[in-house]
Amino acid sequence: MEVYLIRHAHAGARTVGSRDLYRTLSDDGSRQAAALVDFFSDRRVGAVYSSPATRCVQTVEPLAAALGLPVVEESSLWEDVSLAEVVGLIDSLVPEAGGAAIVLCSHGNLIPAVVEHLGENGAEVHGRGCERASIWMIRSVDGRWVEGRYFTPRSGYAG
């Protein structure tokens, strides 16, 4: 079972307070979001989830449209949730996926914490970083997280 954690693509300037929820992608970010479609073209994805932040939703909208799937907004992917909350969400989604991969779009503070947690609990982690529009693939076997692999847009998502 694979879960793909995508950091949102490049967005406009950060604002203070709740308005940051509505920050949209820049032109570069829109190009990064479109490039994600190719990465997933040969992967079977069963669901696309996103932080409610506009920049996250916009990052996965082209992918979801290409797959014919809705983008499900999930508050447990917002940037100020606890590690336990996001890990709990991921663990709850895996049994429902029926073997298809799950895509989750979130933030640059949360994704590294998840990967670090998995590494501390025995998963083999390949790569390092969390740049905008990057992807962390995490793999579960028999209910145990065994691998994390980093893909970056600068490398053309080569792993």
CATH number at residue 129: 3.40.50.1240
Give the range of the structural domain holding residue 21, as residue numbers without chain letter. 2-155
The string of pLDDT tens digits covering residues 51-86 is: 999 999 999 999 999 999 999 999 999 998 999 999
Domain count, the chain: 1
User: Taking 70 as the threshold, does the pLDDT of residue 17 lie above it?
Assistant: no
> DSSP states of the chain as a string?
-EEEEEE---BS---SGGGGGGPPB-HHHHHHHHHHHHHTTTS-EEEEEE-SSHHHHHHHHHHHHHHT-PEEE-GGGSTTS-HHHHHHHHHHHGGGGTT-EEEEEE-TTHHHHHHHHHHHTT-EEE-----TT-EEEEEEETTEEEEEEEE-GGGTT--
- 19: pLDDT strictly greater than 80: no
pLDDT digits (tens, 9 = 90+) for 101-147: 999 999 999 999 999 999 999 999 999 999 999 999 999 998 899 99
Rg (Cα) of the chain, in Å, rounded? Answer: 14
Q: pTM of the entire structure?
A: 0.94
